[in-house]
Amino acid sequence: MKTITGILDDYALMTDGVHKGRYGAKIDGIPYPVTKRVDAFLVRFQKGVKVDVTIQDNNGVEWIDKIVKANPSAKSAASVQTPEDIARERDAYNARAADEARNQERKIAEMERITAKVEKQKAAAEAEKLKAAGFGTPTAAPNGNGNPVCAECPKVMVESIRGRVCAVLGVPCNQISKERCQVEIEVEKREKKISPQEKPKETCTSPKSPVEIQPTQLVPAHPIQNPANFNSDEISLIKSTVARNCTDTEFKLLMYLSAQYGLDPIRRQIWAVKYGDAPASIFTGRDGFLEIAHRSGVFDGMESGIKKEGDEIIGWAKVYRKDMTHAFYVEVYLKEYTTGKNLWLSKPRIMIQKVAESSALRRAFSVSGLYCPEEMPEQVGA
């Protein structure tokens, strides 16, 4: 048995021989296995400290039987980094970081290239599909603004991923779009006969200085009839389908709101629900409110979604208007609307989001007397 003093350079698990799996220590560059009682405490020592080591000879193999700190502040020359070492490490780190950044840039560029290629292939496939389905690509002399004009009607055509499409209808020219164009042309002719003094004016109500605007009248794809123009068969159809058990007064209100907001009861864009002797409730869907918004000419998009605050599930929606600087924002809480059954049980997030969207659209476009059924589930048995 002998005692030496040296620097603890390193310690690690031994990977071979009879001492495999046990810690060994390197003192002044010489490795020694350690006994079990030293094994448990060896990892507590800091590398590079000066230690006193008791070494025991066991059948010609020297073991460390005891190890204690001699002077923790004394470190081996190998454990002290010079400024040059620090600079080399810093340069090596910076080089690795630069390589990783270049690799990342190459990956991003490759992904963008692949994405652009896939989009181009999709566009080509879509164009071939439309061509095979009989959609033409109208060509005619350009109008005053340099845009091509539809060969079938005086509508302006614009370029899109689907080729040239009607700037108003957003579809290639075919028999259906030609019929819709003819309807719009007739409406435009009638509107031109109205003097500008007779057209109502609207004023922007945003916090900024008001700007006087002229409302844009968009014609729906399926023009809505005036209630007085429905024939007797159509009136009977409406009463038997979307206005069951309604009184004459309630039916007149339904038809008035239908004409007021341009919603077609025959296409079930607007309907009435009546239970017993209670007054009838008149509804439209979320898509009905969107129809009103699009036709206003000032709808500038909508955002909506779901969020959680603690245990609360909240639906939210934000509606933008082109003539206002601030959006209309609405939040609705699931617990205030859910019935806990039917779709409210299986799809609660979708239902509460529809409530938020409908409420925001109604506020943004001053719709009165109309609600979506999700907002009043107790009246429709939802």
Handedness of CA 288, 292, 295, 301 (dihedral sign): negative
Please state which of the ranges 66-80, 192-206, 266-280 shows the lowest mean pLDDT.
192-206
Could you read off the pLDDT of 142-189 as tens digits, one per residue?
Answer: 444 444 555 555 555 555 544 555 655 555 555 445 555 555 566 555
Could you read off the pLDDT of 319-364 as tens digits, one per residue?
Answer: 999 999 999 999 999 998 888 888 888 999 999 999 999 999 999 9
pLDDT higher at 224 or 218: 224
Distances, alpha carbon 170 to alpha carbons 179, 225, 227, in Å: 14, 24, 29
| Residue 180: predicted pLDDT | 54
| Residue 356: predicted pLDDT | 93
Q: Within 13 Å, how many C-alpha atoms sit on residue 88's CB side?
A: 5
CATH number for region 287-380: 3.30.160
User: Quick one: average pLDDT of 106-123?
Assistant: 89
| Residue 13: predicted pLDDT | 74
What whole-number percentage of the chain has pLDDT above 70?
67
CATH 3.30.160 intervals, the chain: 287-380
| Residue 186: predicted pLDDT | 60
What does pLDDT average to over the chain?
Answer: 75
CATH 2.40.50 intervals, the chain: 2-79
Could you read off the pLDDT of 124-133 as tens digits, one per residue?
Answer: 887 777 666 5
Q: What's the N-to-C CA distance of the chain in angstroms?
A: 90
Q: What is the largest CA-CA distance in the chain?
A: 119
| CB-CB contact of 167 with 158 (8 Å) | yes
The pairing of beta strand 2-13 with beta strand 50-58: antiparallel
DSSP label at 344? H
pTM: 0.41
Structure tokens at 237: 């159809």
Could you read off the pLDDT of 40-57 as tens digits, one per residue?
Answer: 667 677 788 888 888 888
Structure tokens at 155: 């509508």
DSSP label at 140? -
Q: Within 13 Å, how many C-alpha atoms sit on residue 301's CB side?
A: 2
| Residue 140: predicted pLDDT | 42
Task: Output Rg (C-alpha) for the chain, integer angstroms.
Answer: 40
| Torsion from C-alpha of 341, 346, 348, 351, nearest 10 degrees | -90
Give the closest residue to 375 by CA, choosing from 319, 332, 330: 332
CATH number for region 2-79: 2.40.50
Confidence of residue 303 (pLDDT cuts 50, 70, 90): very high
| Residue 25: predicted pLDDT | 83
